[in-house]
């Protein structure tokens, strides 16, 4: 299996056994996420932006308005960025307060922005992004007009320096605590899509598309 090299920035030192560097795991964590958090530095001060994204091969793509100050800044100044994604999978309820934990899968990528100027790459990324958020959606909707495309800025981020951290399984208590009369286990956490709510302004006679059922 293909792995990312461990660098000074991506080396996991706390609970190192939870560190994961293989591409398959990291890409799966990224692809399941509906948003990421992007961090960058301005005048020594860290900033964070939660934003939608998609992955195509070894690049992440994020889009925004051409008027977005921070996006222009990222691309023009080639600022170093840190991108993170976290899935919370469960609350790990141990017998002792000390061993309480959570099950999670998180990924962190260090990269820098490249402004996408190739039209085909722009078109492709927006289609992949839309279908990632809602599979099947792109073919059903009005595609961007020339002026809408022009108002859209797309940044790409190469995934070269990346790591993940994963915890799964039951609580791990101190040996003597297994004798305590305390319920222990995991409360699973799931991000779920609920029944779609139709827009009240919708034209009569439009039924729910199969991909939303």
For the record, the structure tokens of 1 come out as 């299996």
Say if CB 99 and CB 162 are below 8 A apart: no
Q: Which residues contact 151 (CB under 8 A, 6 or more apart)?
A: 65, 66
Q: Does 188 bind its own copies (CB under 8 A)?
A: yes
* Residue 2 vs 124, nearer CB to its own copies: 124
Q: Report the C-alpha gap between 179 and 112 in whole angstroms.
A: 51
* Residue 47 vs 118, nearer CB to its own copies: 47
Among 5, 13, 117, 119, binds its own copies (CB under 8 A): 13
Among 40, 53, 61, 157, binds its own copies (CB under 8 A): 40
SS3 76: helix
Min. distance of Cβ 57 from its own copies in angstroms? 22
Among 45, 57, 119, 120, binds its own copies (CB under 8 A): 45
Half-sphere exposure of 48 (CA within 13 A, CB side): 7
Q: Does 57 bind its own copies (CB under 8 A)?
A: no
Among 44, 119, 120, 146, binds its own copies (CB under 8 A): 44
Beta-carbon neighbour count of residue 64 at 10 Å?
A: 18
Torsion of CA 150, 153, 154, 157, to 10 degrees: 150
Kindly indicate which of the ranges 20-28, 54-62, 113-121, 129-137 contains the residues binding its own copies, using the contact rule CB under 8 A: 129-137
Q: Does 56 bind its own copies (CB under 8 A)?
A: no
Half-sphere exposure of 104 (CA within 13 A, CB side): 14
Name the one residue in this structure whose structure tokens are 């000074």: 8
Min. distance of Cβ 116 from its own copies in angstroms? 17
Q: Does 175 bind its own copies (CB under 8 A)?
A: no
Could you give the string, one character per residue 134-163, with x where binding to its own copies holds by CB under 8 A and - elsewhere?
x--xx-xxxxxx--x---x-----------
Q: By CB under 8 A, what part of segment 68-127 binds its own copies?
A: 68-69, 80-84, 86, 88, 91, 93-98, 100, 102, 104, 106, 108, 110, 126
Min. distance of Cβ 172 from its own copies in angstroms? 10
Say if CB 146 and CB 84 are below 8 A apart: no
Say if CB 164 and CB 25 are below 8 A apart: yes
């Amino acid at each position: 299996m293909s792995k990312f090299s461990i660098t000074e920035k991506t080396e996991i030192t706390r609970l190192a056994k939870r560190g994961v560097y293989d591409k398959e795991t990291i890409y799966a964590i990224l692809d399941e996420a509906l948003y990421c958090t992007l961090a960058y530095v301005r005048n020594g001060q860290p900033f964070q932006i939660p934003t939608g994204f998609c992955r195509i091969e070894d690049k992440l793509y994020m889009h925004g308005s051409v008027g977005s100050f921070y996006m222009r800044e990222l691309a023009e100044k080639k600022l170093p960025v840190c991108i993170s994604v976290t899935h919370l999978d469960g609350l790990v309820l141990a017998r002792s307060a000390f061993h309480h934990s959570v099950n999670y899968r998180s990924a962190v990528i260090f990269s820098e922005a490249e402004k996408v100027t190739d039209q085909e790459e722009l078109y492709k990324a927006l289609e992949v992004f839309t279908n990632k958020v809602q599979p099947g959606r792109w073919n059903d909707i009005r595609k961007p007009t020339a002026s809408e495309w022009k108002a859209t800025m797309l940044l790409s981020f190469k995934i070269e320096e990346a790591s993940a951290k994963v915890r799964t399984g039951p609580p791990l208590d101190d040996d003597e605590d297994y004798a305590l009369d305390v319920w222990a286990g995991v409360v699973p956490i799931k991000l779920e899509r609920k029944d779609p709510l139709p827009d009240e302004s919708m034209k009569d006679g439009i039924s729910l598309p199969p991909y939303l059922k």
